[in-house]
Amino acid sequence: MIEGRRVLGVIPARGGSKGIARKNLKPLAGQPLIAWTIEEASRSQYLDRLILSSEDPEIIKEAKKRGCEAPFVRPAELAADETPGIEPVLHAINAIEERFDYIVLLQPTSPLRTTEDIDGCIEYCLRMGAPVCVSVCESRESPYWMHTLDQHHRLRPLLPAGQSYQRRQDLPLVYVENGAVYVAQTDYLLKTRGFMTSDTLAYIMPRDRSIDIDNEIDFFICTLLKRRAL
């Protein structure tokens, strides 16, 4: 609870994965990938309840073993590759009887995110009076120096204004979602059906805690960073 508001943490973890087979259960630095998110979320001073959304019996069993509730089994149709990421969150809100003022989405593919990042994002959202707040990091690559290709394979600037920047130091700072923490007022989320709106506030995290695992290279890098930190 924070400032009298009750907060629900939701960890979505389906059994399937395109990039890495059984990704959420794959061992990373000594424990399943999902365990790192459960561990950090369980230390939060603001999450009143932490639940798992999964259709997979093995993931449910692993989460329960580590102290995370699994009050329901996610419907199979909400665990497909093409299922929008917001749908399991909306389903989780409606699948439990208890009502919460805020929802915090924590994807297990961000194992470097810490308890401080979770609580910091929640605090910032409330302090700024925003209905929704999403964690971001400074982008490694600038869209001002990106290009598309025309039909003859010739480079064409993605942003024409980028041609005026000759030095990296002069480029405008740009930020990307890092997938680590999503916070929203429950009623607002049910109304907008998404975390990314014109009201979304950015909570900036360092890049070294912002890897969102999508492939084996990401997994390898996170493993090295976690082992170094242990």
Would you list the domain boundaries of the chain?
7-135+176-229, 140-173
For residues 189 and 195, what is the distance between their CA atoms, to the nearest angstrom? 7
- Note whether 82 and 39 are within 8 A (CB): no
SS3 132: strand
pLDDT tens-digit profile of 191-230? 999 999 999 999 999 999 999 999 999 999 999 999 988 7
What are the tens digits of pLDDT across the range 98-134? 999 999 999 999 999 999 999 999 999 999 999 999 9
Among 17, 8, 29, 104, residue whose Cα is nearest residue 55: 17
Q: How many other C-beta atoms lie within 10 A of the C-beta of residue 30?
A: 10
Q: Which tens digit of pLDDT belongs to each residue from 8-54?
A: 999 999 998 887 989 999 999 999 999 999 999 999 999 999 999 99
Rounded to 10°, the helix 33-42/57-65 angle is 40
Q: How many CB atoms lie within 10 A of CB 150?
A: 9
Sole residue written with tokens 């073993």: 65
Residues with Cβ within 8 Å of 154's Cβ and at least 6 positions away in sequence, in order, are: none
CATH superfamily, domain at 7-135+176-229:
Spore Coat Polysaccharide Biosynthesis Protein SpsA; Chain A (3.90.550.10)
Give the per-residue pLDDT at 169. Answer: 85
Q: Tell me whether residue 206 is exposed, middle or buried, using C-beta atoms within 10 angstroms of its C-beta: 0 to 12, 13 to 18, 19 or more.
A: exposed
Question: Residue 230 has what pLDDT?
Answer: 75
| pLDDT at 163 exceeding the cut of 80 | no
Predicted confidence band at 153 (pLDDT cuts at 50, 70, 90)?
very high
